Structure 1
Amino acid sequence: MRSRSPLADHTVVVTGAARGVGAALAHEIARRGARMALLGHEKASLKAVAESLPGPALAIEVDITDPIALAAAARTVRTGLGRPSAVVANAGIAEGAPFLSTDPAAWRRVIDVNLTGSAHTARAFLPDLFDTAGYFLQIASLASIGAVPLMSSYCASKAGAEAFAHALRAEVAHRGVAVGIAYLNWTDTDMIRDADQFAVLRELRARMPRPARQVYPVETVAARLVRGLEHRRTAVYVPAWLRLTQPVRAALPPVVLRVSRRALPQLEAVRACEYTGPLGAGGQADHAASTRER
């Protein structure tokens, strides 16, 4: 028999839980006996995920770039499920194109969601994690380690989220709170499936080394993340070989530069570098919600 999970009978918060990695994480964590708080856009989808879980769950529609709304969400979680013992800052969006072709507001929105939204999430729930000696898991990316062209906002936001998590870890360790960073490669979500519809991003992935271009099932990714969550890991790599990029990360920019000098002129010649706009249903939902709020 499987031993009892450390997450059993504890409250866990996941942002960006309406679909993709967030929804898969919610299922994996709930199966281990945790009470789930699902945060994000798309209220109907959040509710559907919550209702499909085997245990207690709350679906809370909230924009993670709004600190006042997040503080209210934290109060709702505290009242409805108890103080969280773990928080996963998973919500994220992306767009693709040469930097000068991107919409400035959309470019800034990626930073706001992926970096500032993660910081707002930590700010809202850290008081609870202090009380529970809890764990904060920041979902990062291979893009945190090695930036690539045509995704400048996403790479900048994920590198920033990694740096934020490192700084936060040093600040809160003496309070008994652990902070982890999860480095993910390409995962089979609607964001990545949408990206593959655009020649510029499809070619970007195709020109990566064979292991780096592989797309991993979301259930596989979620299962590995939950094991990291259970053991309060400082770093979680999905797939495991991504840890090998850490010692050589300083060597990655020159490699990317050489490949880009050959590949980008070819893509530009066939006008394949079109602006993608927000990728995936999650990105489009965020765009719709943020546009309404302006």
Structure 2
Amino acid sequence: MSVASPLRGRTAVVTGAARGLGAAMARALVRRGVQVALLGLEEAELERTAAELPEGGAQSWTVDVSDDAAMQETSARVRSRFGSPSVVIGNAGIAAAGPFLESDPHLWRRVIETNVVGSAVTARAFLPDLLRTGGFYLQVSSLAALGPAPFMSAYCASKAGAESFAQVLRAEVAHRGVGVGVAYLSWADTEMIRAGDASAALRALRAALPWPASRTYPAHGVAERLVRGVERRSAAVYAQQWVRGVRLARPLLPPLVVFRSKRMMRALEREGGVAATGPLGPGGEAAMDGWDEDPAPR
């Protein structure tokens, strides 16, 4: 069913679009009459997602968002196929869980590389298009950017970094007619989150959270809220309204988390502790496949 939208007839780019929230946002955009460029690492999944959408409404490109040269080439291909995009959604992200001291340094670095560096590379590749169209860039961040979460050191650091990057970008381009927003969301029902729920680290973290922060929300509903934020060119987009209150209480969160974590951490250590996970979900596994953290210059 189509939806009336000020975005109708425009072009949007969504990274991390092979599955999960990225694929759900692509569907929401196509329902609004938007042509969507699906970017990600999983070629077969990207093609499957594109094939589910109305013919001509989407096309996929396989690319690592942290690869500057590849993203510049992809932006040229998107431009050639659809014209300059008016919307770019920096959604690509991966996660891992577990105690920092036991975390895999290679994986820890890849989370930062994908979630922070990949966001900046995405913006750099498509910002000239957004300047031409007076467009909008949405950075998908997280509740994890607002407060510390035990066992999620790389993810929290990366989402806070992506948030800060987007806020700086907004200050630099607002006078040129480009809008920049940050999306804040809690747990969405994606394969990454479901994989996390299978780990002891994430189960312990979720059990310590009060309702509604412990609740999982349907991905399609989260996607709809984020796309409505794009339509409004909102500086802050909240997938759940209660997250707005968490953002306002941000200065209080670090000491509160430390206070609540002491009992949890002692109990877990008495029980033998928790093991670090690998990359969560098939998207995270794809991001680690063949990744070189010190690539040769190109």
Q: Does TM, normalized by the shorter one, top 0.5?
A: yes
Residue in structure 1 matched with residue 264 of structure 2 by the alignment: 263
- 1:120 maps to a residue whose letter is V
User: How far apart are the structure 2 equivalents of 1:134 and 1:16?
Assistant: 20
- Tell me, what secondary structure is at the counterpart of 1:94? coil
User: How far apart are the structure 2 equivalents of 1:290 and 1:153?
Assistant: 17
Residue 42 (1) aligns with residue 42 (2): yes
How much has 1:31 moved relative to structure 2? 0.8
What is the aligned length?
A: 294
User: How far apart are the structure 2 equivalents of 1:180 and 1:48?
Assistant: 29
Residue in structure 2 matched with residue 175 of structure 1 by the alignment: 176
User: How far apart are the structure 2 equivalents of 1:176 and 1:219?
Assistant: 30
* Alignment check: 8 A CA contact 1:41 1:289 kept: no
- Tell me, what secondary structure is at the counterpart of 1:255? helix
Residue in structure 2 matched with residue 56 of structure 1 by the alignment: 57
How much has 1:270 moved relative to structure 2? 1.9
Residue in structure 2 matched with residue 128 of structure 1 by the alignment: 129
- 2:114 maps to a residue whose letter is V
User: How far apart are the structure 2 equivalents of 1:11 and 1:207?
Assistant: 42
Taking structure 2 as the reference length, what is the TM-score of the superposition?
A: 0.96
How much has 1:199 moved relative to structure 2? 1.4
Q: Deviations over 1:72-104 (max 9, x none)?
A: 000000000110000000000000111110011
Shift of the 49–146 alpha-carbon distance from structure 1 to 2, 3 Å rule, reads: same
How much has 1:52 moved relative to structure 2? 1.0
Q: Deviations over 1:128-168 (max 9, x none)?
A: 00000000000000011111111100000000011001100
User: How far apart are the structure 2 equivalents of 1:200 and 1:92?
Assistant: 19
Residue in structure 1 matched with residue 201 of structure 2 by the alignment: 200
Taking structure 1 as the reference length, what is the TM-score of the superposition?
A: 0.97
Residue in structure 2 matched with residue 225 of structure 1 by the alignment: 226
Residue in structure 1 matched with residue 144 of structure 2 by the alignment: 143
User: How far apart are the structure 2 equivalents of 1:2 and 1:209?
Assistant: 37
Residue in structure 2 matched with residue 5 of structure 1 by the alignment: 5
- Tell me, what secondary structure is at the counterpart of 1:58? strand
User: How far apart are the structure 2 equivalents of 1:293 and 1:79?
Assistant: 31
User: How far apart are the structure 2 equivalents of 1:88 and 1:215?
Assistant: 22
How much has 1:272 moved relative to structure 2? 4.0
* Alignment check: 8 A CA contact 1:25 1:223 kept: yes
User: How far apart are the structure 2 equivalents of 1:3 and 1:24?
Assistant: 15
* Alignment check: 8 A CA contact 2:3 2:32 kept: no
Shift of the 265–3 alpha-carbon distance from structure 1 to 2, 3 Å rule, reads: closer
Q: Counterparts in 2 of 1:206-245, with a 5 A limit?
A: 206-245=207-246
- Tell me, what secondary structure is at the counterpart of 1:149? coil
User: How far apart are the structure 2 equivalents of 1:18 and 1:132?
Assistant: 26
Shift of the 166–52 alpha-carbon distance from structure 1 to 2, 3 Å rule, reads: same
Q: Deviations over 1:176-233 (max 9, x none)?
A: 0000000010010011101111112111011111110000000110111111111111
Residue in structure 2 matched with residue 23 of structure 1 by the alignment: 23
Residue in structure 2 matched with residue 80 of structure 1 by the alignment: 81
How much has 1:56 moved relative to structure 2? 2.4
Query: Please, which runs of 5 or more residues in structure 2 have no aligned partner?
Result: none
How much has 1:271 moved relative to structure 2? 2.6
Residue 286 (1) aligns with residue 287 (2): yes
Between 1:123-132 and 1:260-269, the stretch displaced more is 260-269
- 1:11 maps to a residue whose letter is T
- Tell me, what secondary structure is at the counterpart of 1:185? coil
Shift of the 27–15 alpha-carbon distance from structure 1 to 2, 3 Å rule, reads: same
- 1:132 maps to a residue whose letter is T
Residue in structure 1 matched with residue 275 of structure 2 by the alignment: 274
* Alignment check: 8 A CA contact 1:200 1:267 kept: no
Q: Tell me how large the CA RMSD over aligned residues is.
A: 1.5
Q: Counterparts in 2 of 1:153-168, with a 5 A limit?
A: 153-168=154-169
Amino-acid identity (%): 53
Shift of the 266–219 alpha-carbon distance from structure 1 to 2, 3 Å rule, reads: same
